[in-house]
Amino acid sequence: MSLHAFGDLVLASQVPLPALPISRETRSDLSFRVKAVAPYRGRRWDHHWYLPGGAVSLSCARFGEDYRLGFPGSATFEIRDEATAVECIPERSLPANTVEHLLIDQVLPRVLTHHGRLVLHAGCVGIDGRAVLLLGESGAGKSTLCASLATFGHVLLGDDGVWLRRVGAGSFEVAATYPGLRLRPEPLAFHYREAGAFDPVADTSDKRRVPTPELAGARLPLHRVYVLAAPGTGSVRVGPLRGADAFVALLSATFQLHLDDPGRASAMFDGLGDLIDTVPVRTLAYPRTYDRLPEVREAILDDLAV
């Protein structure tokens, strides 16, 4: 049994989780174990999330105070005991890195939200002691931009999940749910000479995991939120995003264990509204070519200086 930090919670795991930092705590908030392989038997689902091609990427179901998350062709995760016990039931012989990927990139962010934290699917970089968040749909370029900023001297906290909390009357603090960076082969080779030394994220992805363990647990005041717009062909542009547009952009980046939970949904909406009222939200539009990344970095720095 090993103890790991995930956000501000401590996870006791029966299997190794090398991507997560080791916790120095002696107590745990959550437990995780992997059960025997079991075939999928048409379990009941309440909601589905879909890939662009129409295939189901994730399903969820609720049974009283227990929950189930399903990843077709890979595994089902059961969340019990007031979301303090997580069990993985593989549908096939899953590599350890695939189990870890599903757990830390999909399941635990939702469990963290269930425990009352505000969690966003976003990259996070520290610039001059202040954090900026990068939001966008899958494939929008968050990780590539995080890598670009990090390789030019800024502090990479994480590129996938962040949790936020209000500190005082006029500020938010942000930290990565776990440290690290996930990149596809092309941007990985562009930003890192030792690209081949990094481990694959999962057997279902061509991404590789770039660790940053020295930054585990770092928390910074949040200064800006940038929502990556659809790729453009012209100049790099930064503009304000306000009101309902900002709310929808942030809401689309949230994690939820189940969609039918009015109390937790209301608390999440309040948190998002509070965040929009406190931290400037911007749109960031730029051509997705490597030669334009210096302009993007400069545009972010110029905006932070305003």
Per-residue model confidence as pLDDT tens digits over 83-136: 999 999 999 999 999 999 999 999 999 999 999 999 999 999 999 999 999 999
Mean pLDDT taken over the chain: 91
Say how many Å lie between the first and final Cα of the chain, rounded: 49
133 in the same domain as 111: no
Q: Helix 142-150 vs helix 293-305: angle between axes, to the nearest 10 degrees?
A: 80
| Greater model confidence, 116 or 137 | 116
Query: What's the DSSP call for residue 231?
Result: P
Chain length of the chain: 306
Give the highest mean pLDDT range of 33-42, 149-158, 288-297: 288-297
Q: What mean pLDDT comes out for the span 54-63?
A: 94
What is the phi/psi pair of residue 156, to 5°?
A: -85, 120
Per-residue pLDDT band at 283 (split at 50, 70, 90)? very high
94 in the same domain as 125: no
Cα separation, 305 vs 235, in Å, equals: 20
Per-residue pLDDT band at 12 (split at 50, 70, 90)? very high
Residue 232 has pLDDT above 90, yes or no: no
> In the numeric block, which tokens belong to residue 54?
């129409």
170 in the same domain as 279: yes
Q: What mean pLDDT comes out for the span 266-295?
A: 95
200 in the same domain as 101: no
191 in the same domain as 170: yes
Cα separation, 283 vs 241, in Å, equals: 6
290 in the same domain as 175: yes
91 in the same domain as 212: no
pLDDT at 68: 95
pLDDT at 180: 86
164 in the same domain as 285: yes
Q: Which domain holds residue 238?
A: 120-305
Of 100, 115, 130, which one is at a domain's C-terminal end? 115
138 in the same domain as 71: no
Residue 40 has pLDDT above 80, yes or no: no
Number of domains making up the chain: 2
126 in the same domain as 73: no
Of 45, 80, 115, which one is at a domain's C-terminal end? 115
Of 72, 88, 115, which one is at a domain's C-terminal end? 115
CATH number at residue 299: 3.40.50
107 in the same domain as 22: yes
268 in the same domain as 130: yes
Per-residue model confidence as pLDDT tens digits over 151-195: 888 999 988 899 999 998 789 999 999 988 999 999 999 998 876
pLDDT at 210: 86
